[in-house]
């Protein structure tokens, strides 16, 4: 964990990493490049983050906190919790179709142990609030265990780019059918939720969220978006 003395170093590393991840992708960004551009030693980096996936965890925490609030505001109307879940999920899945570097960040986040556990635990809290009334016998721990499976399905769909057969609309419909059934949402309500999402211009909404997310990242980590947007 970074101390107060290492905070400026941590800030420089995050600034460089986030910009590089958005510019060229997570995998293409090497440790050597991070160390060179941030002007820190290898030992200083390892003392703060241990490895590149430590930076990813920090980035994921910021992204998830902000993208969900942006998703809620993008809907522009007050929605029932199940619909909010659907809009948030649809936006996240659509973001991976709009930007390949974001796809890579999300896939790595759902793969790396620390980042993935953060996502699953935070999502489980939200799922418990949203779907607890459908399965009152389940605890927050139960929803965490359900989310382990749901996150695997989410990762699978994000990893597979849309094509002529697996369109974005079909991908979202399949995911919502499986996930909402797992949370014991009645079939009639599942149908209404899917029709609601299909009635949205989800690509335009997601594009707006992506622009806001990039600007929030640039402001928070203090780097220029030139070459990214």
Task: Tell me, yes or no, whether 112 lies in a domain.
Answer: yes
44 and 93 both lie in a single domain: no
Query: What is the domain-level CATH number for residue 41?
Result: 1.10.10.60
Write a three-state SS string for 108-135: HHCCCHHHHHHHHHHHHHHHHHHHCCCC
37 and 112 both lie in a single domain: no
Q: How far apart are alpha carbons 207 and 102 in whole angstroms?
A: 12
Q: How far apart are alpha carbons 148 and 142 in whole angstroms?
A: 10
Mean per-residue pLDDT for 190-212?
A: 94
14 and 110 both lie in a single domain: no
Question: Residue 7, exposed/middle/buried by CB under 10 A (0-12, 13-18, 19+)?
Answer: exposed
Q: What are the C-alpha distances in Å from 10 to residues 17, 53, 116, 207, 214?
A: 10, 14, 22, 30, 20
Please report how many Cα atoms fall inside a 13 Å half-sphere around the Cα of residue 111, on the Cβ side: 12
Range of the domain at 49: 4-55
Q: How far apart are alpha carbons 74 and 37 in whole angstroms?
A: 35
Q: What are the C-alpha distances in Å from 12 to residues 38, 123, 149, 175, 180?
A: 6, 29, 36, 38, 42
Last residue of a domain, one of 55, 73, 98: 55
33 and 116 both lie in a single domain: no
Q: Give one word for 100, left, alpha or beta, with left for phi > 0 and alpha for psi -120 to 50.
A: alpha
Tens digit of each residue's pLDDT (9 = 90 or more) over 121-166: 999 999 999 999 999 999 999 999 999 999 999 999 999 999 999 9
107 and 149 both lie in a single domain: yes
Mean per-residue pLDDT for 60-67?
A: 84
110 and 139 both lie in a single domain: yes
Task: Check pLDDT > 80 for residue 68.
Answer: no
DSSP string, 61-119: HHHHHHHHHHHHHHT-S---HHHHHHHHHHHHHHHHHH-HHHHHHHHHHTTSHHHHHHH
Res 71: pLDDT? 67
Tens digit of each residue's pLDDT (9 = 90 or more) over 2-58: 444 478 888 899 999 999 999 999 999 999 999 999 999 888 898 888 888 889 998
Tens digit of each residue's pLDDT (9 = 90 or more) over 75-131: 656 789 999 899 999 999 999 999 999 999 999 999 999 999 999 999 999 999 999
Tell me which of 177 and 54 has the higher pLDDT: 177
Res 64: pLDDT? 84
Mean per-residue pLDDT for 199-225?
A: 92
Task: Check pLDDT > 80 for residue 226.
Answer: yes
63 and 51 both lie in a single domain: no
DSSP 6: G
Number of structural domains the chain divides into: 2
Task: Tell me, yes or no, whether 225 lies in a domain.
Answer: no
Q: Is the dihedral of CA 84, 87, 88, 90 positive or negative?
A: positive
Last residue of a domain, one of 55, 78, 97: 55
22 and 71 both lie in a single domain: no
Task: Tell me, yes or no, whether 222 lies in a domain.
Answer: no
43 and 76 both lie in a single domain: no
Per-residue burial over 39-60, b = 16 or more CB atoms within 10 Å of its CB, e = otherwise: ebeeebbebbbeebbbbbbbbb
Res 130: pLDDT? 94
pTM above 0.95, yes or no: no
51 and 64 both lie in a single domain: no
10 and 78 both lie in a single domain: no
Mean per-residue pLDDT for 156-182?
A: 97
128 and 209 both lie in a single domain: yes
Tell me which of 157 and 66 has the higher pLDDT: 157
């Amino acid at each position: 964990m970074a101390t107060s003395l290492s905070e400026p170093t941590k800030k420089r590393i995050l600034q460089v990493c986030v910009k590089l991840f958005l510019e060229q992708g997570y995998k293409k960004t090497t440790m050597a490049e991070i160390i060179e551009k941030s002007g820190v030693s290898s030992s200083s980096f390892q003392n703060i983050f241990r490895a590149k996936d430590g930076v990813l965890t920090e980035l994921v925490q910021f992204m998830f906190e902000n993208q969900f609030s942006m998703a809620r505001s993008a809907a522009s109307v007050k929605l029932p919790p199940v619909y909010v879940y659907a809009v948030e999920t649809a936006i996240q899945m659509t973001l991976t179709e709009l930007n390949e570097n974001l796809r890579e960040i999300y896939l790595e986040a759902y793969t790396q142990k620390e980042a993935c556990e953060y996502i699953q635990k935070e999502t489980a809290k939200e799922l418990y609030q949203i779907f607890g009334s459908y399965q009152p016998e389940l605890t927050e721990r139960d929803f965490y265990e359900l989310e382990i499976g749901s996150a695997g399905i989410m990762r699978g769909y994000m990893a597979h780019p849309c094509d002529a057969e697996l369109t974005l609309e079909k991908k979202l419909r399949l995911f919502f059918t499986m996930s909402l059934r797992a949370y014991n949402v009645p079939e009639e309500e599942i149908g209404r939720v899917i029709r609601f999402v299909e009635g949205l211009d989800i690509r335009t909404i997601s594009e707006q969220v992506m622009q806001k997310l990039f600007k929030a990242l640039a402001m928070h980590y203090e780097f220029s978006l030139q070459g990214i947007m």
